[in-house]
Amino acid sequence: MNKDFVIPPEREPRFRALLPFVVFVVFYVGLSVCANDFYRIPMPIAFIVASAVGLILDHRRPLMEKVEIYAHGMGEPNIMIMCLIFILAGSFAAVAKGMGAVDSAVVIARNLIPDRLLLTGIFIVSCFISLAIGTSCGTIAALTPIAVGLIGPMKIDPALLLGAVVGGAMFGDNMSMISDTTIAAARTQQVAMRDKFIMNFRMILPAALVCLVIYLFSGRPGTMQQIPSASWKDMLNILPYLMILICALFGMNVMALLFFGIVLAGILGIFTSSFSFWTALDMVGKGALGMSETLIVAILAGGLLSIVRHNGGIRFLMNKIEARITGRRGCEAGVFLLTAAINLFTANNTVAIVIAGPIARDFSRKYGCDPRRIASILDTASCVVQGLIPYGAQILIAIGIAKTSGIEIPSFRLIGALYYPILLAAALVLSIILKSKTEH
């Protein structure tokens, strides 16, 4: 690769630049439906095919220049940071499982949460943890191993259980005062985070309550096995999880958090004779390798976004949405669609808000919309999409950690069980429609 390579300017906006994403959906979803098996088509293959289409589209640029643009997107800092989180999450899950933390957490959870309230309890715990630490990825990385451990003894649908974890994590990502998305939305609209929180709360409360009711009446355990009593060793084994949560509350970086968890779990595992030093190192390596498909998907998605952006696809979307905005309802709907579309392509809700935020602020000033309301829509729309896309960090982490524990869940099966993000999307759309009607 040429070290002096300078990214060329974007081409003029055009619909054809979005073709790679159409190819991805048709290839991955279409062939999976035809085969009636979402395991049949590996997601990396779908991204490779879509990427090839993206590289072929622009005939004016030499192939090597297009590959450089693609590679620049693959190595984009946000993508690489996400990959580091994947690696650390996989290693932590493997070491924690090896030293008995998962089994102990399952025993304690079954003692504390009644069987009939399992899904509700997991969802609420995920909500509160994410609300407290401000990161959905950290919440999912910490809770997924415990949720996966509950699948066997409780005989419950794994998609429902992971859906409760991811849904609760997205609740906190959207509402937490220390979340990147909250900070980005409030700053780009120049409003107080408290005001944005109040606006959000009015919108998400109905969705959260309906979700709780659904969990109360669905996914009841298939068998009622005898629950073993928790021992002092169980309390010691869950120390890595407790320390991760405590450190997160004090604002520790998610990567430092997971690294600290790996070290602590390894030390405790050696201390309790659960494994040797060499076995611990082997677990760290195997846990990281277990996330390989997740890493590949994230890197290929970054490259695909880069080539689509430079072919004019993202700008085409922005222009089309802006051209159709009329009045306050159109402004709010436009901000929703713009943020959702950008998030769909970037697979990063914070980045989507940063890109869409300044444009949304111009819209709100032009059409007289409440900036607090626009900040709330920005954050909520990005969290809805981020929680539902199969190549987003949240779903990739959940599926990747489950896979390291021997449980494979197709991404679209998990998406179908993500009740909270789906209900949140419905609540957002209804709030735009109903609010606009009351203004006329």
Question: Which pLDDT value is given to residue 439?
Answer: 52
* CA–CA separation, 403 and 139 (whole Å): 18
For residue 311, the SS3 value is: coil
DSSP string of 310-348?
A: HTTHHHHHHHHHHHT--HHHHHHHHHHHHHHHHHHHH--
Question: Which pLDDT value is given to residue 162?
Answer: 93
Question: Which pLDDT value is given to residue 393?
Answer: 84
Question: Which pLDDT value is given to residue 53?
Answer: 93
Question: Which pLDDT value is given to residue 381?
Answer: 95
Nearest Cα to Cα of residue 187 among 48, 21, 71, 361? 361
Locus of tokens 């630049």: 17
CA torsion 88-91-95-98 (nearest 10°) is 150
Residue 256: count other Cβ atoms within 10 Å of its Cβ. Answer: 11
Question: Which pLDDT value is given to residue 154?
Answer: 63
Which 8-state DSSP code applies to residue 16?
A: G
Question: Which pLDDT value is given to residue 1?
Answer: 54
For the entire predicted model, the pTM comes to 0.74
Q: CA separation (Å) from 91 to 138, 200, 397, 406?
A: 14, 35, 12, 15
Question: Which pLDDT value is given to residue 5?
Answer: 64
Q: What is the mean pLDDT of each run of 10 residues along the chain (440 residues)?
A: 66 86 82 70 86 87 89 86 83 85 73 78 86 79 84 78 94 82 84 85 90 82 57 80 76 81 92 89 90 83 86 83 80 91 81 81 86 93 92 88 84 90 94 67
Question: Which pLDDT value is given to residue 118?
Answer: 83
Start-end of H helices in 40-112:
43-57, 63-74, 77-98, 101-112
* CA–CA separation, 395 and 386 (whole Å): 9
Question: Which pLDDT value is given to residue 178?
Answer: 66
